[in-house]
Amino acid sequence: LFEKFEALPPDALFAIKARCDADARPQKVDLGIGAYRDNNGKPWVLPSVKMSELQYSQDPSHNHEYQPIAGNAVLGEDAAKILLGVDLYEKDKTVSTQTLSGTGALHVAAQLIYKGDPTREVYLSNPTWANHRNIFESSHLQLKTYPYWKEDTKTLDIDGWLKTIEAAKKGSVFVLHACAHNPTGMDPTPEEWEQVLDAMAKYHHIALFDSAYQGFASGDLDRDAKAIRLGHAKLSKQSPIIICQSFSKNLGLYGERIGCLHIVNPTSASKANIISQLSTLTRSEYSNPPAYGADIASRILSQHELRDQWYIDMKTMSSRIYKMRVELRNHLVALKTPGNWDHIEKQCGMFSFTGLTPEMVERLETKHAVYMAKNGRASVAGLNTSNVEYVAKSIDEVVHF
């Protein structure tokens, strides 16, 4: 049965982590996969998560029963509210289902789109998170791209993006990074979002927001949901809005696989039908989603004390990352490393699209034990006060080489 299989390349981001983990050089720095590290380079369990876990462990009612197929309903509703805000959230028009984090939400969304219309074209930003392509391709959808990034100026290609929206088949699905664009760290300005979403409304396209970094761009949940809320204002009366939400980063629950898929439909009429489709799909794929992380997340979203601590935690993470951006840029400027490094500070979220070439990235890894994605994306969360100067010096050396 499997004799004809060829070996496929390993996942690029997880392969970086494996190589870095296996590297015995003590000075190694992992700027590969997007996972928050504290100033000691260690994974960080958020204080709000610790509080929630303590509560959970002391709660005599907890058990390990199955969840319903759609997962934790309280979490689904609260999760939708942090995206849409309590004012825009309409329960009768919103379908929320718990998923295996953002990847799972995207996968289920892709399957649902395919079920709705297998010929529907899906547009991804160029560049985008590498897994976007895998997910939509594995659902057999037709993939296209919209220009996003101008390498020469390190700015957004808004004209190219708008032209693509205009030329796309009516009703195309555009995958939009709600904030903290991965990999560029470059988000549209509020005016640019207006332009993009107006054009999408004009040509009757469908917005699929990937919200993996809410709270990471600005440290503020509401500010980081602005594009989604604007999209809701402009599009929700004419087409469904699909939102794929991850709690991996903003709650640091990476391994618990906690996220949600939300579909905001123009009318409440088809809500039950969408739920039934989702339910059948989920049941056949993984039956029902994990309970533990959902409980931990739900307590945080629904209780004031935990939620207030969470806001502080997000500020802690986003401000430390911002500080590292500033320090890395300042070191490069002080070293007079050829090029302009202002973009490192201007970009937001977990990543910086450094502009380093694949050859430079390779030399960073082989000579300096500094690991980042081949396209020059660095997870800024891997920097800390002990390694930022070393990383800057290493970048300086490979740029000069």
- Tell the burial category of 60 from Cβ atoms under 10 Å away from its Cβ (0-12, 13-18, 19+): exposed
Whether 290 contacts 257, CB under 8 Å: yes
Q: How far apart are CA 115 and CA 66, in angstroms?
A: 27
**Smallest distance, ligand LMR to C-beta of residue 364, A:** 17
Task: Please say which residue, 34 or 219, places its beta carbon nearer to ligand LMR.
Answer: 34
Q: How far apart are CA 153 and CA 157, in angstroms?
A: 10
Encoding tokens for residue 396? 């300086």
With helix as H, strand as E and coil as C, how does 356-400 read?
Answer: CCHHHHHHHHHHHCEECCCCCEEEHHHCCCCCHHHHHHHHHHHHH
36 lines the binding site for ligand LMR (CB under 6 A)? no
Write out the binding residues for ligand LMR, residues 130-149 only, by CB under 6 A: 131
Q: Quickly list DSSP for 63-125.
A: --PPPPTT--HHHHHHHHHHHHHHHH--GGGEEEEEEEHHHHHHHHHHHHHHHH-TT-EEEEE
Task: Please say which residue, 131 or 142, places its beta carbon nearer to ligand LMR.
Answer: 131
The catalytic residue among 129, 149, 161, 310 is: 129
Q: Is 249 a catalytic residue?
A: yes
The catalytic residue among 149, 157, 249, 295 is: 249
Report which of 305, 181, 248 is spatially closest to residue 44, judged by C-alpha positions.
248
13 lines the binding site for ligand LMR (CB under 6 A)? yes
- Tell the burial category of 180 from Cβ atoms under 10 Å away from its Cβ (0-12, 13-18, 19+): buried
Report which of 272, 262, 196 is spatially closest to residue 234, judged by C-alpha positions.
196
Site string for ligand LMR, 145-174 (x = CB under 6 A): ------------------------------
What are the backbone dihedrals phi and psi of residue 125, each rounded to the nearest 5 degrees, phi first? Answer: -70, 150
Among 20, 34, 239, 244, binds ligand LMR (CB under 6 A): 34
Task: Please say which residue, 162 or 356, places its beta carbon nearer to ligand LMR.
Answer: 356
Q: How far apart are CA 378 and CA 364, in angstroms?
A: 12
Task: Please say which residue, 12 or 399, places its beta carbon nearer to ligand LMR.
Answer: 12
378 lines the binding site for ligand LMR (CB under 6 A)? no
**Smallest distance, ligand LMR to C-beta of residue 336, A:** 31
**Smallest distance, ligand LMR to C-beta of residue 239, A:** 27
Element at 207 (helix H, strand E):
strand 206-211
Task: Please say which residue, 130 or 281, places its beta carbon nearer to ligand LMR.
Answer: 130
Task: Please say which residue, 303 or 375, places its beta carbon nearer to ligand LMR.
Answer: 375
**Smallest distance, ligand LMR to C-beta of residue 297, A:** 18
Residue of minimal CB distance from ligand LMR?
34
Q: Is 92 a catalytic residue?
A: no
**Smallest distance, ligand LMR to C-beta of residue 46, A:** 17
129 lines the binding site for ligand LMR (CB under 6 A)? yes
One-letter identity of residue 125: S
**Smallest distance, ligand LMR to C-beta of residue 397, A:** 25
Q: Is 161 a catalytic residue?
A: no
**Smallest distance, ligand LMR to C-beta of residue 131, A:** 6
Report which of 381, 365, 383 is spatially closest to residue 328, judged by C-alpha positions.
383
Q: How far apart are CA 245 and CA 79, in angstroms?
A: 8
Task: Please say which residue, 34 or 259, places its beta carbon nearer to ligand LMR.
Answer: 34
Encoding tokens for residue 189? 């300005």
375 lines the binding site for ligand LMR (CB under 6 A)? no
Encoding tokens for residue 262? 């939300």
- How many residues touch ligand LMR under the rule CB under 6 A: the total is 6
Q: How far apart are CA 67 and CA 88, in angstroms?
A: 28
Task: Please say which residue, 185 or 240, places its beta carbon nearer to ligand LMR.
Answer: 185
The catalytic residue among 30, 210, 224, 295 is: 210
Among 182, 184, 211, 265, binds ligand LMR (CB under 6 A): 182
**Smallest distance, ligand LMR to C-beta of residue 33, A:** 4
Rg for the chain, CA atoms, rounded: 21
Residues annotated catalytic, as ranges: 129, 210, 249
Rule CB under 6 A: which residues touch ligand LMR?
Answer: 13, 33-34, 129, 131, 182
